[in-house]
Amino acid sequence: MATATDERAFVEFERVQKSYDGETLVVKDLNLSMPKGEFLTMLGPSGSGKTTCLMMLAGFETATHGDIRLDGNPINNIPPHKRGIGMVFQNYALFPHMTVAENLSFPLEVRKMGKSDREAKVKRALDMVQMGAFGGRRPAQLSGGQQQRIALARALVFEPELVLMDEPLGALDKQLRETLQFEITRLAHDLGITVVYVTHDQTEALTMSDRVAVFEAGRIQQLAPPDELYEAPINSFVAQFIGENNTLEGVVTAIEGEACTVKLDSGDIIDAKPVNVSSVGERTKVSIRPERVEFNRERLHADAHTLKAEVLEFIYMGDIFRTRLRVAGTDDFIVKTRNAPDQRRLTPGEQIEIGWLPEDCRALDA
């Protein structure tokens, strides 16, 4: 999906393509525009082109075709060290023979900054990531989380307007990763810096970003704020890739404005919102999020569509119940319900009725 180029854009990709062998395009006709101060995440599976885009923006890869601009200026032919961009990698890339303070001072020395200014900026950067007391240590004396904080401080120390992050939290454990997600987001917004962040972790993308670009096969499939991406996926790939999703297959039998009727392969008839279908007789995958499905009869809305289901598995997960059902010929239909006093616990083999609102059900491409 192409996005219009904004004249106020800070980062721009215009018709950018990348091929390594002269035949296969890893990035295909990319048009992307970012305003200053935005936190944008490039999300997608391995090989989808997201990291290649980041490396072209950094200057470590060259675009085969098209233009990349920073603050209105073409940067295709500017070497990486002259682009003024901060970088944070998954493997930290710290110099092991230098102390933490020397690691942070290095990019300032390259920029010919005086000693007193360097010391002041190093202290400020370490304080920003809550590592002020660690300046004299070497990287080997730090934990993985502490090393990543130092790598972040080094990317921020020369006060760049743009910071690129490539899977920076991938090597950390879950709790530390979540803590740093919030810290990085807060720092980015407090400092007003523009961030391009690459990850394959959907939760990370939804938690941290102002907008998310979902990549697949070298193209942006959808570019939108996290809530829109999750609530309103525009095709089957995005619906399946972002969060958990139930899919039922069938044929469109009627379309009328913002509603369509689908005859499922099981013979059941349901109503849905036509998102990526345009004609009667077209095959479709119908998408319903697990938390939009209800099985407490008294909670079902009067307009809810209902189907019969058999309980296959009921899992207690603390704050939620996760129920796996056999519905319309599939054994992998998931329902997530809040752990509330009035929420009924189900037993495998039980026959129940489930329902959802038609507007929560999206008819997508097959």
What share of the chain has pLDDT > 90, as a percent? 59
* CATH C-level class of 11-236: alpha beta
Q: How confident is the model at residue 3 (pLDDT cuts 50, 70, 90)?
A: very low
Distances (CA, A) of 352 to 187, 269, 323, 327, 329: 48, 18, 12, 10, 15
State the chain's mean pLDDT as an integer. 90
What share of the chain has pLDDT > 70, as a percent? 95
In this predicted model, what pLDDT tens digit does every residue of 97-153 receive, in sequence order? 999 999 999 888 888 888 888 889 898 989 888 888 898 899 989 888 888 888 888
CA pair distance 128, 118, nearest whole angstrom? 15
Q: Smallest Cα–Cα separation from 266: which of 183, 341, 331?
A: 331
pLDDT at position 31 over 70? yes
Q: How confident is the model at residue 4 (pLDDT cuts 50, 70, 90)?
A: very low
Q: What's the pTM? A: 0.87
pLDDT computed for residue 1 by the predictor? 42
Residue boundaries of the structural domains of the chain:
11-236, 244-365
Is CATH 3.40.120.10 the right assignment for the domain spanning 244-365? no
Task: List, in order, residues 6 or more apart from 181 with CB less than 8 Å away.
Answer: 169, 204, 207, 208
Q: Are 155 and 161 a contacting pair, CB within 8 Å?
A: no
Residue with tokens 């900026």: 121
In this predicted model, what pLDDT tens digit does every residue of 274-284 receive, in sequence order? 998 889 999 99
Q: How confident is the model at residue 342 (pLDDT cuts 50, 70, 90)?
A: confident
> Strand 73-74 and strand 65-70: pairing?
antiparallel
